[in-house]
Structure 1
Amino acid sequence: MNLYPTAARQVRIGDAAAFAGITPRAIRHYHEIGLLPEPERGGDGRRRYGHDDMIRLLWIRKMAEAGISLDDVRVAFGEAREETSDEAGGIESVLGRLEETMAAQEAAIQRRRAVVQRLQAVGSPLGLLSEVVAERLGHLPPGALRPSDLNALLVTERIFGPLGAAIQAGTFIVLATRPDLRAEEDRLEAAEAALDDGVDPDDPRVDELAGQRCAHLLALNEAIEEAGLDAAEERIFGIHDADLAGDEGRRMSAAAAITKMPYDFSPARRRCVELAGRLFGEALADI
């Protein structure tokens, strides 16, 4: 049986759609987006589709079934006309470039799947943090971390990236395993919050509290070293630094964060935090 008759024959849109395994509505859409040239109409005012139109429809369906978007299909046909009279050959060259796009999409899916797997393994919201952070905190028992700890890590990761959050995680590991340090942390946080109640920035309590915060930071630092967490930080840098180099685009500078985040610290509390940080830095330099 000859499937390619020499005599030109044209069919209506319903027959063309049935042969291609699509709907007439889909064909009209292809016309609208420029994917399929609209054929001339017959004497009855209806569109008539020839052999070339049918071949085009079959190619479109096959490419769509392969997961290629209609926009990419249109580009493929457009470049095919420019490169060669053999439409299939032109499409092959475009498919090579589309394969790269799909490979990138597949990699993105793998990253999302990894997040889902972390959520299943360690639970939410810890699993939503970067892998390097979740990995470091994963050995802690359930409930050891407070929601405020996770919130702080989320903010740190946004500003300083996963490595910065992984280092900060060392502090929360110590707080989760040292009740004495956690109690002092709670006391200091409550005292610092009280500075928001109309305390003058030059009030002597600000300097006193800054000194206490500095002493606490030094105690935390010593506990981190005693637990060997500082060595773990070096290992984290060695393993993950290169892998996370591309994370820069997802970070935010500290200066930008200050203008974006709705911080509501009073002048007295801000001065206390700044002074404690300066005292801590000076103390570390003297060690």
Structure 2
Amino acid sequence: MPSSFVPPRQVKIGDAAAFSGSTPRAIRHYHEIGLLPEPERGGDGRRRYGYEDMIRLLWIRKMADAGIALGDIRDAFAISMASAGADSGDEIVDILERLEEALTARETESRRQRAAVRRMRAEGSRMGLLSDFVTERLESLPEGSLRQADLDSLLVTERIFGPLGAAIQATRFVALTTHPALREDSDRVDGAEEALDDSVAVDDPRVAQVAVERHAFESALQAVIEESGLGKHDDALFDDWDDLGSGGREADSMSVLEAAGKMPYDFSPARLRCRELAEELAAQDSPTT
């Protein structure tokens, strides 16, 4: 028996929202971000939605329920629109493939973040803020043996020099942590350097004296690193880093000069001069080529 009911060819936003399982507010937002084209308006000035609009709304709702970000959905539809003349079924497959790739990458990042949070919870420190490449270098140390200042220094170093630079610096902390006498010498020299504050002139005799002490300590530290075999571990780091390829490098890394211009420091002119003199002493010890 024929029905006397004839479905409307276009519906208002409230009906469109009810049918698609959305809300008028959400649909307006889709228009604002370019996810859903603005439809025709009726004589009363209100939006009217046709069959194709409803199909788009159903797709949006299904993909959003799957956890796909609205921006990703919009990009997928934009790619679909750009593929003029292609079979619609193939376009949908391409869209879903790209979205699956994006979700896989997001899941990988989510796993990395969860692992970092677990590390921070387990160790009660900022270890989890460092990359795996750096923390693996510190696995030999007893839990909680690193100082907070050591971890802060590694965090800054990783930002400037990347995970490889921070992993090499971690070798210093491994040596200091496992050699208490060396750590005492480090604290003594650090304290002498910190005393070279803004009240000390760069030509003060104490500057050169502390530079000699710094050079002597660095030489002793390097000797311990080589004798203990930690230096060989550093050589292996370069091989591991090469094996990682571009995947081990941070996408948001910056140059050393750029980082130096943006990172505040507490070194006075006298302290900076002290480090320069210590480096000159180290260069004198280096064999000439």
| AA partner of residue 120 (structure 2) | L
Distance in 1, Cα, partners of 2:86 & 2:206: 84
Query: What letter corresponds to residue 9 of structure 1 in structure 2?
Result: P
Percent identical among aligned pairs is 54
- What residue number does 2:140 align with? 139
Q: What TM-score, normalized by structure 1, do the two folds share?
A: 0.81
Verify the 8 A CA contact 1:192 1:269 in the aligned structure 2: yes
- Alpha-carbon displacement from aligned partner over 1:215-272 (angstroms, at most 9, x marks no partner): 1111111111222111111222222333264526444444334333322323322221
Query: Which residue is equivalent to 2:164?
Result: 163
- Give the direction of change, closer, same or farther, for the CA distance of 1:57–1:87 in structure 2 (3 Å limit): farther
CA contact (8 A) 2:189 2:214 kept: yes
Distance between the aligned counterparts of 2:254 and 2:126, measured in 1?
A: 21
Distance in 1 (CA, whole Å) between partners of 2:151 and 2:116 is: 16
User: How far apart, CA to CA, are the structure 1 residues paired with 2:87 and 2:208?
Assistant: 81
Give the stretch that moved more between structures: 32-41 or 58-67: 32-41
Q: How far 1:88 moved relative to its partner?
A: 5.0
Is 2:8 aligned against 1:9? yes
Q: What are structure 1's unaligned runs of at least 5 residues?
A: none
- Are 1:55 and 2:55 matched, yes or no? yes
Report the TM-score when normalising by structure 2.
0.81
Q: 2:284 aligns with which of 263, 271, 282?
A: 282
Q: Residue 145 of structure 1: CA displacement?
A: 1.9
Distance (whole Å) between structure 2 residues aligned to residue 8 and residue 221 of structure 1: 84
Which residue matches 1:265? Answer: 267
Within 2, Cα distance between the matches of 1:143 and 1:75? Answer: 46
Deviates more, 1:221-230 or 1:63-72: 63-72
Whether the 8 Å contact between 1:8 and 1:50 is mirrored in structure 2 is: no
Shift of the alpha carbon at 1:105?
Answer: 2.4
3-state SS in 2 of match to 1:103: helix
Sort the Cα spacing of 1:41 and 1:162 in 2 relative to 1 into closer, same or farther, 3 A. same
Residue 175 of structure 1 and its aligned partner are, at CA, apart by 1.5
Q: What's the CA shift for 1:78?
A: 5.0
What do residues 29-61 of structure 1 show as CA deviations (whole Å, max 9, x unaligned)?
44555515424437x776555544433332232
Describe how 1:12-91 pairs up with structure 2 within 5 A: 12-33=12-33, 35-41=36-42, 49-77=49-77, 79-80=79-80, 83-84=84-85, 87=88, 89-91=90-92
CA distance in 2, matches of 1:45, 1:266: 69
The 2-side partners of 1:37 and 1:167 are apart by: 56
Q: Provide the aligned C-alpha RMSD in A.
A: 3.3
What is the alpha-carbon distance in structure 2 between the residues aligned to residue 132 and residue 79 of structure 1? 37
Query: Quick check: 1:132–1:162 contact (8 Å CA) kept in 2?
Result: yes
- Taking the aligned partners of 1:283 and 1:184, their CA distance within structure 2 comes to 21
**Cα distance 1:254–1:16, how it changes in 2: closer, same or farther (>3 A)?**
closer
* Match runs of 1:76-225 below 5 Å: 76-77=76-77, 79-80=79-80, 83-84=84-85, 87=88, 89-196=90-197, 198-225=199-226
C-alpha change, 1:32 and 1:181, in structure 2 (3 Å) is closer
CA–CA separation in structure 1 for the residues paired with 2:268 and 2:79 = 62
Secondary structure of 1:107's partner? helix
Moved more, 192-201 or 32-41: 32-41
Number of aligned positions between the proteins:
284
